[in-house]
Amino acid sequence: MVAVRRRGVALLATLCAQVPRVRGMRSATHSRLGCQVAAPAGAGGVAHALTHGGWRAPAASTVAQLLELDEAHAAWLCALGAVYVGGERALDPRAPVGANAHVRVHTRPRRYPAADATDWRRAVVHDGGSFVVLNKPRGVPTHATVDNVVETCQAQLGALLGVPLGCPHRLDVPTRGLLVLSKGSGPFLQAFSAALRERRVRKRYRALCAPSLADDAPPPPLGELRHWILPGEHEPTRLAPIGDGAPLAGWRECVSVVHAVRASRARFVDDAPSVGARRLVELELELCTGRTHQLRAQLAHIGWPIVGDDVYAASGKGAAEARAAAALAIARDPRLVDGAKGAALVGGGPEGPQAALDVLRLSTGFFGLVASELAFDDPLRAGVRHRFALLEADVWR
């Protein structure tokens, strides 16, 4: 698999320079080809097509003919991982496609330019016998997405190291920081996955958060944050309101711990000169459970969404619900009404976090969540404990 990915990375680089502008998707029946576009590309950019009974052609040629694309662009889509034949990715543009095949094409695949901009060798924090620890960049998926198998940490680092990598540990696309990848799919992958499930891996994060309800809102409290994810698949993640009593059947527990809260202020590069520095708080958190978007959802739920989160903060699709939940939470939880009591607030003087963040001047694409520390017992070597931590100067770079 890693050899296929290495070829995909090389082929993608070659094809990127050759791809012309894509012509529009056609929805008509292709009678001259004896095939039919069953579902033309819609808002999501996914097209479905069926080949006829006598069809036999390479994957790129098939996509080019069925969807009336330039063949160079079709080959690029294959190499990126955006083409499926019979439910399987067709990474090789030359792979044969036979009769009555269902072809699915993601015609507008998501791109992750930070993958090309990253010096992957310098991003390696630890390269051991059975695993690698990576300082994951912002804006790059941990593993393959449905439409892109190349611009990922797994593929890029695997191609560099020349070994297939497994993903027992995951971080969201915009989150930066320490990420564990296994070498191959052997004992370490299964053992580390079990350690994560059993909460034997210590995971600490740093978060920069802005108030969503009022500029003078009290800071988050120290101590445990415990919520419940509503049952069913939701995007964004939905949490039950605080104070609703015992969870119902099927609800999943979310637990994290706030260890420190520091007052901060920051400017953004696109702010007008008249806009003052914005009030933020910097949190040190420990993630106890590992639910999808857990910290993002929990912090928005109590009125302090992560800076730069376009799902839960500002006008994101989860923002209105999060603000309503935060208002209810503050009304029900006295720690949130007077959160400053007992919080380790460090504030605003010339030597404090405010000065450092003002100098940093946060960029428009900034996302304020960093996986800053990992600690775990080696699952394959008794008595060996690993601890990895980002340098302080490296946290908000």
- Domains annotated on the chain, with CATH: 2-106 (3.10.290.10), 119-144+161-200 (3.30.70), 204-366 (no CATH)
Please report which helix (H) or strand (E) contains residue 252, including its range.
strand 252-266
HSE at residue 161, side-chain half, CA atoms within 13 A, is 28
Cα dihedral value 24, 28, 32, 38, nearest 10: 100
pLDDT at 276: 66
The single-letter code of the amino acid at 159 is A
Which stretch of 138-147, 218-227, 319-328 has the lowest confidence by average pLDDT?
319-328
- Whole-number Å distance between alpha carbons of 133 and 165: 11
Angle at 270 between CA 266 and CA 276, to 5 degrees: 40
**Neighbouring residues of 280: CB distance < 8 A, sequence distance ≥ 6:** 208, 209, 210, 264, 265, 266, 307, 357, 368
HSE at residue 40, side-chain half, CA atoms within 13 A, is 10
Q: How many CB atoms lie within 10 A of CB 272?
A: 5
> Looking at the predicted structure, is the pLDDT value of residue 357 above 90?
no
List the end-to-end C-alpha distance of the chain, in Å, as a whole number.
34
Angle at 71 between CA 66 and CA 72, to 5 degrees: 145
The CA-atom distances, in angstroms, between 305 and each of 209, 213, 214, 298, 330 are 5, 10, 12, 8, 15
Would you say 394 and 360 are in contact if contact means Cβ atoms under 8 Å apart? no
Would you say 247 and 240 are in contact if contact means Cβ atoms under 8 Å apart? yes
pLDDT at 314: 55
Mean pLDDT along residues 227-243: 73
Would you say 102 and 50 are in contact if contact means Cβ atoms under 8 Å apart? yes
> Looking at the predicted structure, is the pLDDT value of residue 146 above 90?
yes
Give the residue, 33 or 274, on which the prediction is more confident.
274
Q: What's the pLDDT band for 252 if we cut at 50, 70, 90?
A: confident
- Whole-number Å distance between alpha carbons of 38 and 51: 10
Q: What is the pTM of this model?
A: 0.80
Residue keyed to tokens 């000169």: 273
Residue keyed to tokens 């003052």: 276
> 5-24: per-residue pLDDT in tens?
555 545 444 444 444 333 33
Instruction: For 45-105, give the DSSP string.
Output: -EEEEE--TT--EEHHHHHHHHHT--HHHHHHHHHHT-EEETTEE--STT-EE-TT-EEEE
Mean pLDDT along residues 167-174: 95
CB neighbour class for 309 (10 Å; exposed up to 12, middle 13-18, buried from 19): buried
